Chain A
Amino acid sequence: MLFAMHPRAHILAVAFSTCIAGTSFAQPAQTPAISIAVGVLRVAHSRETISILDIPAGDDFVAGAELGRSDNNTTGKFTNQEFTLKDRKLAEGEDAAEAVRAFAADDIHLIIADLTAAQLLAAADAGKQTSTILFNASAPDDRLREEDCRANVFHTAPTRSMLADGLAEYLVWKQWRRWFLVFGSHPEDTLYADAIRRSAKKFGAKIVAERLYQDTGGGRRSDSGSVQTQRQMPVLTQNVPAYDVLVAADENDVFAGYLPYRTWDARPVAGSGGLKPTSWDATHEQWGAAQLQNRFYRLFKRTMNARDNQAWMAMRMIGEAATRTQSNDSAKLREFLVGPDFSLAAFKGQRLTLRSWNLQVRQPILLGDGRTIVSVSPQEGFLHQTSELDTLGYDKPETKCVLR
């Protein structure tokens, strides 16, 4: 293989200004360490999962923040900073706003949140009074980045529209353009189904049939489960027009996990079952990710899931901001994060940056089947004038967000 070199057309250098204020940290540290206090505010997730592998551990989510804290503190040894973490788990019916005020009373003004959309908004609005900034590391709701966006909330979790677009780009690349959409009966399923319909339209796929799966309760993983599902899933998926791929919207893990190998027609399954779009998976190892997986496993004796990773990203954002600004002041940290110098290395093959218009972290979407990562979107050929990552989810010209 010999490559021809084109003439001077390729020569383009970006020269930065000559005297960059380099930050240097002498050793050993003399003055007392600056403390950066971070709160984790979370709710329990259902243990009713289709696969036993997906039952959330007791330290689900907070373990990711804890690893991020450990990474930040290794750096902190050199920058004379110490990161602390206080974990608060909300019981059913407890007020998230009250928890934010309680954190503020303890002088904690940085919160990594695993909350529902409604709880997050209550927490964010309470946080305005206490100079608190929040990192939404769980809720995928687009409205939190659009009509209900908040100036004090950063989002490390990808949105439903980003996840659906990440999947759609791959399905279109595969030329699987005829989709059969099956969605669940929970409100989140309606939202995910909407995101999938939007992606189909955006990328030129066609939804040839739609079907609702009503959640009528019943035991998952029960003794006779396999017998029942083997009969239910073919019935659910029969008598539909010709399609290439079944796309399922089932955020509460009611049925999508049962679809692979059980559809009436022999077709692949994607979405909430089969090939899933996600920010992270225990099988992701490219771009140095194996190192993060190893560190996580060594500390917690389990694998890292998407929520853990999104919490880790939030803690690393706080770490980057605190290291670069030498501050623990939430306003200063926010200023750095929304500025041009912020980027995060998060084992996704490229730097992650922030969408300035709604404070969403731009990121590739992994597509995994639980055994390996099948592909990573954006797919080749899906172009964008500023960042190919902005082919995923609502883009700047469409945004309804006004930050305040």
Chain B
Amino acid sequence: MRAALVGLLLGASSLGASVPARATMAYVTNEKGNSISVIDLDKLEVVKTAKVGQRPRGIVVNKEGTQIFICAGDDDTINIIDTKTLQIIGDLPSGPDPELLILSSDGKLVYLSNENDNLVTMIDVNTRKVLGEIPVGVEPEGMALSPDGKILVNTSETTNMAHLIDPQKKEIIANILVDARPRFAQFTSDGSELWVSAEVGGTISVIDPMKHAVKQKIGFAIPGLPKEAIQPVGIRISRDGKTAFAALGPANRVAVIDTATKQVTKYLLVGQRVWQLAFTPDEKYLLSTNGVSNDVSVIDVAGLKVVKSIPVGSFPWGVAVSPQ
């Protein structure tokens, strides 16, 4: 009786929920659910689920917080979604199988990786026209842009390289070998370091983006887990540049790394098959998408503790947070 009542109440509250315009939201792509889950970051709960294109993975929000861009890999397109209505208001011509994307700092350009075509594509958001394509290695995936906007980075999973690209000239500047299956790239906020995760190699390469060289590699070891199960994917580095977080895939953990010493200081147990990470704008929380357990873990950044698990859709993969 009580259970039924609670169920009713829950049902009513979720039915009545609308998306408040001012709250900060996190958007999670559900790779197999073909949807996004919208998390209210004040309540730390899902307030809405919206249908998007097929196999959504990479996701970004523009700096105004008005539009979301989603790689819909199986639809060979990028969905543009209005954050107010959560309706698809248009598409960008991404080419086949887009996986990850980033926006230029002025928000006018989208850079994306085409996994099936060995290309990085640049698209003008306003005209929705392709401005250029840059041939890269086999299975391009990770995308990053240096804080000054001068270096665009793509990682190619089978070529095992980070490609450093001049986005103005649309030319490759350097190709840097890293370990097997590099999936994600992230600059430190001062642009002095580029961190690249190698999923199969099990390491993070810290690259000097000016010298075009790997200056350090970070490895991981967790007692009781076979080394093959440690597969780093998403990386986020705090704005002060002091702490980095790395999602370790089927190891079900997020590693906390001291950026000065490059030492792992803690492993945080999260949900299963952790893919990507995103900070809240105040960096109070870090969110992780857990593909197999269909939830998002909320990490208290100051306390380095997992404080909540939020159930989302089927196979959550990407996560992006709207600006404050």
Contact between B137 and A3, CB atoms less than 8 A apart: no
Query: A23-B177, A25-B174 known; A75 and B139 CB under 8 Å?
Result: no
Cβ–Cβ contact A75 & B174, under 8 A: no
The docked-state distance in angstroms from the alpha carbon of A387 to that of B222 is 15
CB <8 Å contact, A291 and B139? yes
| Cβ–Cβ < 8 Å partners of A324 in chain B | 177
- Chain A residues lying within 8 Å of B116, measured Cβ to Cβ, are 291, 294-295
Residues of B within 8 A of A316 (CB): 158
CB contacts (< 8 Å) of A1 on chain B: these are 271, 293, 295, 309
Q: B175 interface residue, CB < 8 Å from A?
A: yes
In angstroms, how far is the closest chain A Cβ from the Cβ of B222?
6
**Of B174, B179, B216, B221, which one neighbours A12 at CB under 8 angstroms?**
B221
Interface size on A, residues (CB 8 A): 46
B220 lies within 8 A of A14 (CB): yes
State which size class the interface on B falls in: 35 or more
Contact A16 B174 (CB under 8 A): no
Report the separation of the CA atoms of residues A12 and B256 in the bound assembly, to the nearest whole angstrom. Answer: 11
- The answer to whether A343 and B306 touch across the interface, beta carbons within 8 angstroms, is no
CB contact under 8 A between A3 and B215, given known A75-B161, A288-B157: no
Cα A16 to Cα B306 in complex, Å, equals 28
Establish whether residues B215 and A343, one from each chain, have CB atoms under 8 Å apart when the complex forms: no
- Chain A residue nearest to B307 in the complex (CB): A2
Residues of B within 8 A of A349 (CB): 250
CB-CB under 8 A from B104, the residues of chain A are none
Given A26-B174, A387-B226, residue A18 in contact with residue B269 (CB < 8 A): no
B236 contacts the other chain (Cβ, under 8 Å)? Answer: no
A79 interface residue (CB < 8 Å to B): yes
Chain A hits for B173, CB < 8 A: 26-27
Within 8 Å CB of B293, what residues of A?
A: 1
Query: Which residues of the partner chain A approach B229 to less than 8 Å between Cβ atoms?
Result: 350
Selected contact of A13 from candidates B176, B263, B307, CB within 8 Å: B263
Is there an interface contact between B263 and A27, defined as CB atoms closer than 8 Å? no
Interchain residue pairs with CB less than 8 A apart (27)? A1-B295, A3-B270, A3-B306, A5-B266, A5-B305, A12-B222, A12-B223, A13-B218, A13-B263, A13-B265, A14-B219, A14-B220, A20-B216, A23-B214, A24-B174, A25-B161, A74-B137, A75-B138, A78-B163, A79-B175, A288-B157, A291-B115, A291-B139, A343-B180, A345-B199, A350-B229, A350-B231
List the 8 shortest-distance A-B pairs measured between CB atoms, nearest first: A22-B214, A13-B264, A14-B219, A350-B228, A22-B213, A78-B175, A345-B200, A3-B269
Query: Residues of B at under 8 Å CB distance from A?
Result: 115-116, 118, 135, 137-139, 156-161, 163, 171-177, 179-181, 199-203, 205, 207, 212-223, 226, 228-229, 231, 250, 261-271, 293, 295, 297, 305-309
With A10-B223, A79-B175, A291-B115 given, name 7 new contacts (CB 8 A): A11-B265, A27-B173, A324-B177, A343-B179, A344-B180, A345-B157, A351-B201
